[in-house]
Amino acid sequence: MYIEDAISTNHRFVDFVEERENDLFEKEKFRALGKQDDYIFQTLVFMGRASQQMSIGFTIADTLNEIPQSIKEEMRDLARRYHGLQEQIRNLSKEGG
């Protein structure tokens, strides 16, 4: 019975993912832009959104006395490295197309 329950649970999970896949990965939006197969572009879109959210968090954290300066510096370093990764990925897109 345990195996049947596990299989049933797995099928429900797969169904759940398939139902939400379009929303999660915004397939229709990328299709409308003609970018449904441009995974580098899609990566940069999602990374850009994450960068915006991190920036807001970093801005708030920067005003807090409770957060040590060393952590704030680590956050700035993380942002610089993250932007560097975005640039490397952007260059891959330029090389490939």
pLDDT in tens, the chain (97 residues): 556 665 677 778 888 877 788 777 888 899 999 999 999 999 999 999 999 999 999 999 999 999 999 999 999 999 999 999 999 999 998 876 5
Cα(91)–Cα(97) distance, rounded to whole angstroms? 10
Q: What is the SS3 assignment for 16?
A: helix
Find, among 20, 77, 76, 90, the residue nearest to 48 by Cα.
90
Find, among 75, 53, 52, 51, the residue nearest to 63 by Cα.
75
Q: What is the pTM of this model?
A: 0.72
- Tell me, what DSSP letter sits at residue 91? H
Question: How many residues appear in the chain?
Answer: 97
Q: Where are the domains of the chain?
A: 1-33, 38-96
